[in-house]
Structure formats: C-alpha cells, structure tokens
Amino acid sequence: MSSLNLDDFTDLIERPDGGVRRDAEARRERQVVPPGALGRLDDLGEWLSAAQGTVPVRPVERPRVVLFAGDHGIAALDVSAHPAGGAERLVRDVLEGGRPVSVLARRLGVPVRVVDMALDCDPATLPDEVVRHRVRRGSGRIDIEDALTPDEAEAAFRAGIAVADEEADSGTDLVVLGDVSVGGTTAAGVLVAALCGTDASVVTGRGGLAIDDLAWMRKCAAIRDALVRARPVLGDQLQLLATVGGADLAAMTGFLLQSAVRKLPVVLDGVVTAACALVAQRIAFRAPDWWLAAHDSGEPGQAKALDRMALEPLLSHGVTVGEGAGGLLALPLVQAAAALAAELPELPPPYQESGAQAVEEPAEEGAEGAVDPAGARTAE
C-alpha cells in the first residue's frame, strides 16, 4: 500500500512570510523613488522578500532551469508538429546548446538541468544524470488508455519531490520550470479542462510550432475523448495524473509542491507547467503563493489555468516554443526587482514620515540647517 499521502502537503506548505512582506512594503515607502513608480517590480521585490523571509531582499544569484522531459502516446494521432517520439531529439539539442533555452541560459549564465521521465528512447544513449529518474519509456495514449500505472505515477511524483530537494539542498534560490515533450500540451489541455470544468475546444491550442487546422481538430478530439476518462477520477489527483497526465507531468506536480514545502520560488513557463500547477493547487491551496507566471504563451489552456490560480503573467511576447525559454525571459525582471528593492537608498529621516508632503514643503531660503528635499531624493 502506498505511503504517499497528498494531504500532508496542505499542512507542510506555508505562505510566504506576511510580516516580512509588510516590512518590505514599509521599506519601499521610505525609498527615494515613490511607491508605484516601478510598477510590478515593486510587487515582485516584496514577494521575493517574503519568500526569502528577509528584508532587504537578497539578490537572485543561483537560479536554475529545470526541464522535465517525456514522450506522450497521444502524439501518435498527429496532434503535434513534432513527430511522435521526437522529444529525445529536442533533449539532445538542449544539451548540445542548440535550442532557444540553451542560448538564453548561456547569455544569462544560468545552468540547465534536464530530467528524463519518459522519453521514448534507449536510456543508454543519454547521460546518466539525465536518465536516472526515468519511470518508463513513453506515456500511454490517454484517449484510450492510462498514461501510467498507479505505481508509475507515484514513482514519477516522488521523483519530482526528490529533484526539488536536490535543488533546494544545492543552494538554488529560484527555479525556472519547463518541459521538453511531444504531446505534452495535449495532456496539459485535458488536465486544465477537467479541473476547470470546461470543454475541449476552450483549452485546445496550437502548440509550440502552430499546428494547422486539421491537426488542431485532431488535438481537440483527443482532448475530448481523454476528458471522458479524466472526469471520474477528478477527486484523486495522483490517479488523475496516471489516467490522463504522464510521467513528466506527475513529476512536475511533485516538484512544484515540494518546492513550496522547501520555500523555493518557481517561475512557471508555459501551458504544461501551468496545468501541473493547477493540479498542485488542488492538492495544497497555499502552494501557488510560491510561483510566478513568466509569460502569456497564447495557449488558451494556460490562460485558463493561470486565471484559476490568480497568477498574472509578467510578459506577453507570444513565445510558444516552450522548454523554459519564456521563463528565462522573465528572469531578468525578477533579478531587477530584487536589485531595486535592495539597493535603492532610503530618504533621510526628516522626509520619511510625511513622504511626498516633505518634498512639497521646501525649507525657507537661508534657514540654518535647511536641507533641499529634491537633493534628498538624489543623494545616497
């Protein structure tokens, strides 16, 4: 009998420290640039301070990209622009530096970790550190069969927990989470539609390479058929992942929950990570407080999931490639928010209490000990 109790996550996951966030907000009000002048960067800096439990916020110095990889049997229905079983080639390109996430990671100096959960290839052809958590070779075709057995789903979920612990223990201070999969957006669409109680057409997007109309109709039909199988198991999230998810999606769900337990902030990339986050939210309602939505990929399923979790994307550039690329594009914003929150000087004490009023009431000309308020906003 399984010893994994998903209800434990509800007790283990706490919200980011509210008291620290209030202290961060108070500090922000004392800084030389008026609150609100930096837009969402103010909120980002305060959120990160609460997540770290410290004021001023520490810089994000050890970020990491973590990509879970897998092939999905549903890709055999030609629902993706990539060939069925083609995720291995994508993984190799990531490892060899030939994918967008590789280029961005090099430019930003961020290491990339790929975790094979269910690639349809011989594990001996990939590095040991990539394949050591693999659960199976490919996931089942979810319109007619389960993606995983219950034991495989639990093993994948536990693998995600283990990866989160490895990252937290190694000193990683923020994770950009993504996937490398073929057929993964179809499985993600099923999860979102099932959890949001909507139809297949509402969540069916065109994927990373913009499939044509016929492929879109095949994808929509596949999601519709898989939804019939998903609805009876909605009350059991692990069984839901086994029925219509996949090893990579189960692992990402476990990763997201354990990252929240370990107080490790996570930046969500595209629709696949959003779908896993939605499953994780069903397990532990406080978990989304530890996540940021990097960007709006244009996938309707992603928009639906983020809206349900009240997560607003940081960027809207139409990046659909997946693989963590959109998440990496948002990373400099997070780092900039941390730097501004930590390094902007505070107003001198005479101008902290009344803020803008102090600036509007200059001292009398020639008065002894007078200080120029305008200078106070520029002097460090």
Catalytic residue IDs: 323
Report whether 248 contacts 69 (CB < 8 A).
yes
Residue of 245, 243, 244, 186 whose CA lies nearest to 219: 186
Q: What residues does 113 pair with on adjacent strands?
A: 66
Rounded Cα–Cα distance for residues 178 and 67 (Å):
5
* Residue (of 281, 354, 277, 361) closest to 313 by Cα position: 277
Q: Are 152 and 136 in contact (CB under 8 A)?
A: yes
Q: Which uninterrupted H or E stretch holds 338?
A: helix 325-343
Q: Sign of the C-alpha dihedral, residues 122, 127, 130, 132?
A: positive
Q: For residue 318, with 0-12 CB atoms within 10 Å meaning exposed, 13-18 middle and 19 or more buried, which class applies?
A: exposed
Nearest to 178 by CA among 65, 84, 90: 65
Which tokens sit at 302?
A: 């992603």
**What distance in Å separates the CA atoms of residue 36 and residue 114, rounded to the nearest whole number?**
38
Enclosing H/E stretch for 330: helix 325-343
Tokens of 334: 């997070």
Contact 95, 127 (CB under 8 A): yes
Q: Where are the alpha helices (DSSP H) in 116-149?
A: 128-131
| The residue to which tokens 């290839």 are assigned | 121
